[in-house]
Amino acid sequence: MLASLLNQMLDILRQTFLQGDWISLLIAFGSIVIAALMMRRGTQIGSMTLLALVLFAIGGFLRGVFAGPTPEGGSVTGGRLAAQFESSLGVFMQMTAATLLAYFIAFMLLILVLFGAKSVFGR
């Protein structure tokens, strides 16, 4: 089970940070950088990882809302916001616990690396 979790985490790292498009990469790295810069102590890693994941989710949601015109030719309206929210919520609800844990671990490791670099260069 541990090996499958690690493999899934590595797949998520590859999909999110190596194979994603530039906007997804910008959203992911931006959320990680913000969390790492806000982190004051190493004991805050759990809350900062959750913050980074929430920022990543909000960024993905906003990207979907402002992605472009709808096929009907409409603009950003309440209907489009609601449809994007339902779509995003549906994707979240279909995620397994192992996938959520893998995202958490992947973001946590990257935040720790940036926090470590910030600590070393900040002295």
First-residue to last-residue Cα distance in the chain: 40
**pLDDT (mean) for 20-42:** 90
Q: How confident is the model at residue 35 (pLDDT cuts 50, 70, 90)?
A: very high
Burial of 52 (0-12, 13-18, 19+ CB in 10 A): buried
**pLDDT (mean) for 96-104:** 83
Task: State the sign of the Cα–Cα–Cα–Cα dihedral 75, 85, 109, 4.
Answer: negative
pLDDT score for 2:
78
CB atoms within 10 A of CB 88: 16
pLDDT score for 61:
86
Comparing 3-12, 28-37, 58-67, the range with the smallest average pLDDT is: 3-12
**pLDDT (mean) for 62-90:** 72
pLDDT score for 48:
95
* Mean pLDDT over the full length of the chain: 83
pTM of the model: 0.79
Answer yes or no: is pLDDT of 83 > 90. no
Amino acid at 47: S
Higher pLDDT, 110 or 75: 110
Residues contacting residue 97 through CB under 8 Å, at least 6 positions apart:
none
CA 24 – CA 22 distance, rounded (Å): 5
Q: Where are the beta strands (DSSP E) in the chain?
A: none
Task: State the sign of the Cα–Cα–Cα–Cα dihedral 19, 98, 8, 49.
Answer: positive
Domain boundaries in the chain? Answer: 2-121
